[in-house]
Amino acid sequence: MSIERPWRCDDAFSRTRAVIDLAALGHNLQRIRELAPASRVMAVVKADGYGHGALRVAQALAGVDAFGVARVAEAMALRDGGIHQRIVVLEGFSSPEELALVREHRFESVLHHPSQLDMLECSPAGEEIPVWLKIDTGMHRLGFPPAAYGEIMARLSGCAAVTTPVRLMTHLASADEPENPQTAKQLECFRAISRQHPGELSIANSAGILAWEHTHADWLRPGIMLYGISPFSDAVGSDHGLRPVMTLSTRLIAVNQFSRGDAVGYGGRWICPEDMPVGVAAVGYGDGYPRHAASGTPVLVNGVKVPLIGRVSMDMISVDLRTQPGARVGDPVLLWGSELPVEVVARAAQTIPYELTCKLTTRVERIEEGMADVPQLDARTS
């Protein structure tokens, strides 16, 4: 005989978890290959794979042509984890010690600043380093000015530590804005230099891959779209045929009945307009849920959309359950995933989805799914 209880008891009670769908990663990679069949793919897994777990992402994407990370330490973590494929350090080395690590572990380095050239020229002959020479075509962040191309190439050709021909790359500042003339200008600038360049070329991030066919070149550098997320502010991943990789969920840990006029949460910013049930879900900014998510931000309780109310606290959020009077403690709460795109939550929190997935904290349990469906899984790395 089971007793009707006002709560649900199961093993996943109140666990706040991010399910990482590794099969979706494979699907998104396939989508990229369809969009640019002639180009090679450097899968960008910096910032712990945009919060998805760099090592497991790299294992699931073992069939790509290279991995891209921002820092030498990130490249080291992948090597230590058994990733034997090519790894490109997008910020390059920043000290002679890092340069030594690049050599020792056979990383490839972006070269964007004269200080790095000085270090290369001072380093003893030995293992050669594959270099990606970065040109600043208008983003004005990292890269050599276009006018310096000839001089840098001359210096590099006299440098015993460098593999030739070097690859040439640039980064787009506004590819996520299809109307912005900046991308065409950057492309024109890059073309003028690359016409004389003997090595491979790379321009495109996710927005370039999706919106600017002329940026595809020899090497693509997709990040966000691998994770099933759109780089555009007015779209979601499924608009591009992508599948979201991360699903963030938790449970209701309280359902309370409040009266008209009662104020909910810190600062009492949200006032009950009538007598109503309010749910409390076990997720907050201590898990990486954005504190700036406004009242009205959608949350799914039992698969039904309800609005967040009041301020997000460290461990909890409150939700309006008027449309779900039957909701009980233990019911599932989805913060983002296939049924509720992270892009939508990001907009409600006045940020970008990149930040939301990156900011998940270690308190959130990561659970992998779908590995068996990933065809390129490499047994040596697991």
Ligand X SMILES: *Cc1c(COP(=O)(O)O)cnc(C)c1O
Interface characters, 158-177, with ligand X (x: CB under 6 A): -------------x------
Query: Which member of 185, 266, 354, 359 is catalytic?
Result: 266
> By C-beta, is 222 or 279 nearer to ligand X?
222
Binding segment for ligand X among 18-26, 191-199, 220-228, 240-248 (CB under 6 A)? 220-228
The answer to whether residue 46 is catalytic is yes
Q: Which two tokens stand for residue 239?
A: 């608009």
**Binding window for ligand X (CB under 6 A); candidates: 22-30, 117-125, 223-231, 295-303:** 223-231
What CA–CA distance (Å, rounded) separates 19 from 353? 16
Distance CA 113, CA 197 (A): 19
357 binds ligand X, rule: CB under 6 A? no
CB 316 within 8 A of CB 281: yes
Binder of ligand X out of 199, 222, 288, 298 (CB under 6 A):
222
Binding mask 87-126 for ligand X (x = CB under 6 A): ---x------------------------------------
**Checking DSSP bridges between strand 108-111 and strand 129-134, what pairing results, if any?**
parallel
Comparing CB distances to ligand X, the nearer of 225 and 374 is: 225
E strand or H helix at 248, and its extent? strand 246-258
Instruction: Name the residue whose CB lies closest to ligand X.
Output: 223
Among the listed ranges 101-109, 211-219, 221-229, 325-333, the one in contact with ligand X (CB under 6 A) is: 221-229
On whether the CB atoms of residues 118 and 141 are closer than 8 A, the answer is: no
Which positions from 176 to 205 touch ligand X by CB under 6 A, shown as an x/- string?
-----------------------------x
Decide the pairing of beta strands 317-320 and 201-202: unpaired
User: How far apart are the C-alpha atoms of 206 and 237, rounded to whole Å?
Assistant: 11
44 is an interface residue for ligand X by CB under 6 A: yes
Residue whose CB is less far from ligand X, 23 or 66:
66
Nearer to ligand X, 223 or 228 (CB): 223
Q: Which residue has the tokens 């450097």?
A: 42
Please pick, from the candidates 221, 240, 251, 311, the single residue that binds ligand X as defined by CB under 6 A.
221
How far, in Å, CA of 101 to CA of 103, rounded? 5
Whole-angstrom Cα distance, residue 154 to residue 138?
A: 23
CA distance 323 to 287: 26
Size of the site for ligand X (CB under 6 A): 11
Contact call for residue 290 and ligand X (CB under 6 A): no
Instruction: Please give, one letter per residue, the 3-state secondary structure of 169-222.
Output: ECCCCCCCCCCCCHHHHHHHHHHHHHCCCCCCEECCCHHHHHHCHHHCCCEECC
Per-residue contact track with ligand X, 1 to 40, x per CB under 6 A?
----------------------------------------
Cβ atoms < 10 Å from Cβ of 73: 11
Please identify which of the residues 46, 50, 227, 354 carries the catalytic annotation. 46
Distance of CA 259 to the CA centre of its chain: 42
Location of structure tokens 């992402």: 57
Nearer to ligand X, 231 or 341 (CB): 231
CB nearer to ligand X: pick between 20 and 224: 224
- Binding segment (CB under 6 A) for ligand X, from list 22-30, 117-125, 219-227, 345-353: 219-227
Residue whose CB is less far from ligand X, 204 or 374: 204
Which one of residues 199, 228, 231, 307 is an interface residue with ligand X (CB under 6 A)?
231
Q: Are strands 317-320 and 304-309 parallel, antiparallel or unpaired?
A: antiparallel
Neighbouring-strand partners of residue 264? 270
List residues near ligand X by CB under 6 A.
Answer: 44, 46, 90, 171, 205-206, 221-224, 231
Q: Active-site residues: which are they?
A: 46, 266
